[in-house]
Amino acid sequence: MDDQRIESHPILQFEKSAVLSFTFDGQPMQGREGDTVASALFANGVQVFGRHFKTKRARGFYCAIGNCSSCLMVVNGKSNVRTCTTYLEEGMVVETQEDRGNLLRKRQVGQALDVSKGASDDV
C-alpha cells in the first residue's frame, strides 16, 4: 500500500501512523492516520480522482491546498468534497466524481451503505 510514500529521507523522519481502511469506487484500500483522502489515494497509486462534467477529461491532484477544485470527489455520498484538504477517516466511501455534484445522490448512497455521518472537510 505504501509504494508511493517516501520511506527514507536524509533529514525528515516519517513516523508510521495507524492504518485506516476505506474504499475507492468499491475497491478496499488502506491509508494512514494523518492522510488526506487525496494523499491516501495517491499512495495507493490512484491518480485520476474525477472527470470533468462536460469533457470527461481526467482530474487529479493539482494545487493540493484546497483552492483549485481539481480533486473534487464524492465522499460518503457527499459531492464536491475537496479531498486534498479532507482528512481520511476509517470506513470512508470515496468515489470518482464525473458530474457537477449531485445533492440527491447522498440519500441513495447513505441508505445503501448506512453512512451515519457526512464527510467533514473542515480541516
Partner 1 sequence: MILPKTASVVIVGGGVSGCSIAWNLAHRGVKDIVLLEKETLANGSTGRCGAGIRMQWGAEMNSHLAQYSVRFFEKANETLEYERDIEFDQSGYLIVAANEKEAVQFKKNVALQNRLGIPTVYLTPKEAQEIVPIIDTSQFVAATFCPEDGHLNPFHTTEAFAKSAERLGVKIFKHTEVTGIDVNQGRIEAVETSRGRISTDTVVVAAGGWSKEIGAMAGVDIPIYAQRHQILVTEPLEPVLGPMVMGFDYNIYIQQVPHGSIIMGRSDNTEPRDFRVTSGWRFTEEMTETCSKLLPPLSQVNIIRQWSGHYCMTEDAQPIYGPVPEVNGMYLACGFSGHGFMLAPATGQLITDMILGEPLTIDVSNLDVGRFQRGELVFESSVV
- Which positions touch partner 1 (CB under 8 A)? 53, 69, 78-80, 99-104, 106, 118
Q: How far apart are CA 60 and CA 54, in angstroms?
A: 16
CB of 105 to partner 1, least distance (A): 8
CB of 63 to partner 1, least distance (A): 15
User: Which residue, 45 or 101, is less far from partner 1 as judged by CB?
Assistant: 101
CB of 67 to partner 1, least distance (A): 12
Please name the residue ranges forming H helices in 27-72.
37-43
Name 112's Cβ contacts closer than 8 Å, sequence gap at least 6: none
User: Which residue, 15 or 122, is less far from partner 1 as judged by CB?
Assistant: 122
Element (H, E) at 70: none
User: Which residue, 79 or 83, is less far from partner 1 as judged by CB?
Assistant: 79
Q: How far apart are CA 89 and CA 92, in angstroms?
A: 6
CB of 28 to partner 1, least distance (A): 26
Longest dimension (CA), the chain: 49
